[in-house]
Amino acid sequence: MTSRRDPFARLPPDARRRLRAAPHPAWVDPMLATLTDRRFADPRWLFERKLDGERCLAFRDGGRVRLLSRTRQHLDGTYPEVADALARLPVDDFAVDGEVVAFDRGRTSFARLQQRIGISDPERARRSPVAVFYYVFDLLHLDGHDTTALALRERKSLLRDTLSFRSLELRYTTHRNADGEALFAAACARGWEGVIAKRADAPYVGRRSGDWLKFKCSAGQELVVGGFTEPAGSRVGLGALVVGYYQGDDLVYAGKVGTGFSQATLHELRRRLDALETPDPPFRDRDVGRAARGPGGAAVHWVRPELVAEVGFTEWTTDGRLRHPRFVGLRDDKRARDVVRESPPAGR
């Protein structure tokens, strides 16, 4: 047992019946949100700030703490201070879901977090000037019980009451009840990513669900890198990334991304892309080479579609291209084959 006190004592009888005795999980498939363009206020929903970081599931089984990304990559060495903070908690059998973030001028910044994402040595990570924080928003396992069948409101109440958030590195993800429209307006005014709307009575399911919805302040999504162009003028590394998304088994061309890079990023991207170069385009449309050529008609270097980039943009054009795209960072926490074009479904 995690403690002599019953952590479920305050749950109503019907919620206690939904608890399932279970061994400590090796893994839990994360619940994913669906993009929507409809904003709403509803007392049946909770609304949380959308964070611009790296999804992280944390597991503690006795003295052992594991941090895992969405693709099950171990993050213990990348965020050792988070692992240390979880190891100090008085609870020793739990699994939680959350987001690791770094801040830049008061806003969560994936670009700044990138300086930590490439680090796997814990001592080097501890020396990094980039401070990170783990915002925990869900409880999946506690004290020998699977909690995923509980309603979200019950899981969050258990999370807040059972885990201690006194450590600087650990943060409880607060929410607003009912009024998602007001929170969304405030989020966009403050330069946040947006809002996640969550149905308050919904269980936690390991897939994309309409019970979690994304309200985004600006357009942006992950895209697969399928090629790059040579730099021109004083540019170093590369000129632009050639990106796309999967539609079934086909990689569909979405355009080129030529802004948002630092010089260090350009050099690092070129190093990684050179190792992936291949003679044939990975895109469905074999004529994409003409559309993707660089300045002066320079040919594209094709690469195996393994890298995933976070890209911000203003909108999709009518012919399926990105308008005003900008590079935000590479995402090592998402498989290339899972990248599809995000488009809001009709209604809610």
The pLDDT-based confidence of 345 (bands split at 50, 70, 90) is low
Distance CA 103, CA 133 (A): 9
* Residues 3-40 pLDDT 10s: 458 999 999 999 999 999 999 999 999 999 999 988 99
The average pLDDT across 283-305 equals 83
Coil vs helix vs strand at 326: strand
pLDDT at 254 over 50: yes
Backbone φ, ψ for residue 183 (5° rounding): -65, -40
Q: Tell me, what's the pLDDT at 184? A: 93
Q: Tell me, what's the pLDDT at 207? A: 96
* Residues 58-109 pLDDT 10s: 999 999 999 999 999 999 999 999 999 999 999 999 999 999 999 998 899 9
Q: By mean pLDDT, which of 120-134, 239-253, 309-323 is the weakest?
A: 309-323
Query: What letter does residue 40 receive in the DSSP assignment?
Result: -
Percent of the chain with pLDDT over 90: 81
Q: Which long-range contacts does 173-178 make (Cβ < 8 Å, 24+ apart)?
A: 173/48, 173/49, 173/51, 173/98, 173/99, 173/135, 173/136, 173/137, 174/48, 174/49, 175/46, 175/47, 175/48, 176/46, 176/47, 176/48, 177/43, 177/46, 177/47, 178/41, 178/42, 178/43, 178/45, 178/47
Six-digit token string for 298? 């320079």
- Could you give the residue numbers annotated as active site? 50
Distance CA 97, CA 136 (A): 6
Distance CA 201, CA 18 (A): 13
Domain annotation for the chain: domains and CATH numbers? 30-49+173-217 (3.30.1490.70), 52-172 (3.30.470.30), 220-338 (2.40.50.140)
Q: Tell me, what's the pLDDT at 343? A: 78
* Residues 168-226 pLDDT 10s: 999 999 999 988 999 999 998 888 889 999 999 999 999 999 999 999 988 889 999 99
Decide the pairing of beta strands 54-61 and 93-101. antiparallel
Task: Specify the pTM.
Answer: 0.83
pLDDT at 347 over 50: no
